[in-house]
Amino acid sequence: TEQTLVLVKPDGVRRNLIGEVIARIERKGYSIVDLKFVQPNESLLREHYEEHVDKPFFPSLLEFMMSGPMVAIRVEGDRVVEGFRSLAGETNPTTAAPGTIRGDLGRDWGTAAIENVVHGSDSTLSAERELAIWFK
Ligand code: ATP
């Protein structure tokens, strides 16, 4: 069994989708083992998105991710890292497959940062690193 970090991003919280995201995680058979509301500061987000800090979209990503509270969730299950990525769907909500969180609930709002409801760690290594950042 393994663990992953799921974030309900500020757009998901604003749109009252916390329960919907949690329901999909639980219906799939994964367990929520820790959960909290967080209002991250810039240094936490720079740590979290260390691979993106030099990208052109980083300033808008930072602004979006600081635009309101988020929910951080520690999720456990067999192959849950890959499994949650599959539940979430691809990054862009316009092209994410129907049936996925981003495909069903997200759309392109035309904002500078892609607002796509959730984050999920992309590997077991990232999951360990990110869980240590968000659940200190
Ligand atoms: P996440 O890491 O949030 O699960 P992801 O792995 O699908 O998403 P990444 O490529 O790691 O996508 O990008 C991280 C986040 O940065 C995306 O979820 C999105 O919110 C934002 N983002 C990524 N690419 C762009 C882009 N080209 N323009 C604007 N925002 C972007």
Q: What is the mean pLDDT of each run of 10 residues along the chain (136 residues)?
A: 98 98 98 97 97 97 98 98 98 98 95 97 98 97
Q: What is the pLDDT of residue 111?
A: 94
Q: What value does the mean pLDDT of the chain take?
A: 97
- Is 50 buried (19+), middle (13-18) or exposed (0-12) by CB count in 10 A? exposed
Q: Whose CA is nearest to atom 3 of ligand 1?
A: 119
Residue 48 appears among annotated catalytic residues: no
Apex 24 CA angle, 21 and 29, nearest 5: 135
Query: How far is the C-alpha of 101 from the C-alpha of 94, rounded, in Å?
Result: 12
User: Ligand 1: distance of its center to the CA of 102 in Å?
Assistant: 12
What is the CATH architecture of 2-134?
A: 2-Layer Sandwich (3.30)
Rounded to two decimals, the ipTM of the complex is 0.92
User: Ligand 1: distance of its center to the CA of 61 in Å?
Assistant: 8
Lining ligand 1 with CB less than 6 A are: 57, 61, 91, 113-114, 116, 119-120, 122
CB 119 within 8 A of CB 11: no
Q: What is the pLDDT of residue 112?
A: 95
Domain ranges of the chain: 2-134
- Is 110 buried (19+), middle (13-18) or exposed (0-12) by CB count in 10 A? exposed
Residues 6+ apart with CB under 8 A from 72: 5, 6, 7, 35, 36, 37, 38, 134, 135
